[in-house]
Amino acid sequence: MAAEEPLVLGIETSCDETGVGIVRGTTLLADAVASSVEEHGRYGGVVPEIASRAHLEAMVPTVQRALDQAGIKASDLDGIAVTAGPGLAGALLVGVSAAKAYAYALGKPLYGVNHLASHICVDQLEHGRLPEPTMALLVSGGHSSLLLTEDITSTVRSLGATIDDAAGEAFDKVARLLNLGFPGGPVIDRYAREGDPAAIAFPRGLSGAKDPAYDFSFSGLKTAVSRWVEAKRRAGEDVPVRDVSASFQEAVVDVLTRKAVRACKDEGVDHLMIGGGVAANSRLRALAQERCDRAGITLRVPRPKLCTDNGAMVAALGAEMVWRDRAPSAFDLSADSSLPVTDTHVPASHDELHRLSE
C-alpha cells in the first residue's frame, strides 16, 4: 500500500456528463461536472454524437475548474484515472484521450477504470472504506445489477442483472409516456410523493418462485403502465399522473430492495450499498433503509449528487488503485464500450509493464 493517501484526478465521459473529480484517498477535494443533458432533452434520450462533441468542448475547462476547486496544481497529482468503459464508445474515447494526454504530459501513471465499479467506490468518499465484502445494488440508466464486491480494485462478482430494460431506463420510458420530459427519474420521484403507491397494482417482474432470484426485468412493467395509460386516454379520462408515478415507482423499488436484501442474506453479507443514478430516488432510499433495518443489514447510499455520473467516483477508484499498488494502464489503453464489470480496471499486460519500467 502507498505510504500516503494518494492524490488522484478522475475523468468520466461515459454518457452525457463531463465529470472531473479530485480525491485524496477517500477524501473528496473537487467535483466538477458539465452536463449536456439539456441538449438531449428534445430527443427523449442521449444522442451519442452530441454527447461526444459536448465532452470535447467541456473537457479542458472542467479539468481547470476541478484543479481550482481543490486548490492544487496538476503537478501535485499521483495519478490520472479515467472511465475506460462501459459506456458510449465515442464519448468514452474523448475522456480516455484526454486522460492519456494529461498523464503523458505530467509524467503520471494512468488508470483506466470501470464505470460500474466507480459507482460503488464513490461511497468511500461519504462513508469511508468499503467493508469487505459489500453487496452492491447498482441501478442506473444503463444498468441494474447485484454485485458481490470482495475487493473494489480487483474482485467484483455479478450475481444478477436486468434481462431487458435497466431501472433508470424504465423511469425514463414511463416519464416519456406521461409526457414528463427527460431524464424521467427525478420528475417521477417528485410526482410520486403526492400520489398513492397502492392506487394501481402494477406487476413485479421476475418475482415468482421459479424465477431467477437476482435477475431483474422491467420491460413487462413498462408495457403494463403503457396499457393502463392508453386505456384511460381511450376512455377520454384524465390520467392520474401522481398515482401512476407512485404505483410504477413502488413496483420498481419493491423488487430492487427485496432482491438486494435476499442476496445479502443468501451470501451472508451484512453491508449493502446502493449506487447509480436511480439510487438518488427518495422512495428507494426509504424502503431500502426500512428493509435493511429489519434484516440487520447496514445500508450505505451516497448522497444523490455522488450517485449520478461524476468524475469524483472515477478519482475515488483511481485513488484506491494507487493505494493498493495496482498496476497502471498502458498508454495504448482503449475505450471498451462493453467492459465487463468483473474488469474493475484495465491494467497494462506484464510485457507492457516491463517496458514501462525500463
Residue 134 main-chain phi, psi, to 5 deg: -125, 135
| Choice from 149, 281, 329, 344 touching ligand KG4 (CB under 6 A) | 281
Draw the binding track, 88-127, toward ligand KG4 (x: CB under 6 A; -: no contact).
----------------------------------------
- The crossing angle, in degrees rounded to 10, of helices 219-234 and 241-267 is 160
Q: Is 311 in the site for ligand KG4 (CB under 6 A)?
A: no
Q: Is 86 in the site for ligand KG4 (CB under 6 A)?
A: no
* CA–CA distance, 287 with 146 (Å, rounded to integer): 17
Q: Is 36 in the site for ligand KG4 (CB under 6 A)?
A: no
Residue 278 binds what, of ligand KG4, Zn ion, none (CB under 5 to 8 Å, by partner type)?
ligand KG4
| Nearer CB in complex with ligand KG4: 78/336 | 336
| Choice from 309, 320, 336, 343 touching ligand KG4 (CB under 6 A) | 309
* Shortest Å, Cβ 279 to ligand KG4: 8
What amino acid is encoded at 74 in this protein? A
Size of the site for ligand KG4 (CB under 6 A): 19
* Shortest Å, Cβ 342 to Zn ion: 17
**In the window 122-151, what residues touch ligand KG4 (CB under 6 A)?**
140-142
Q: Which stretch binds ligand KG4 (CB under 6 A): 35-43, 232-240, 276-284, 330-338?
A: 276-284
| Nearer CB in complex with ligand KG4: 70/306 | 306
- Contacts with ligand KG4 by CB under 6 A lie at 15, 140-142, 168, 171-172, 183-186, 189, 276-278, 280-281, 308-309
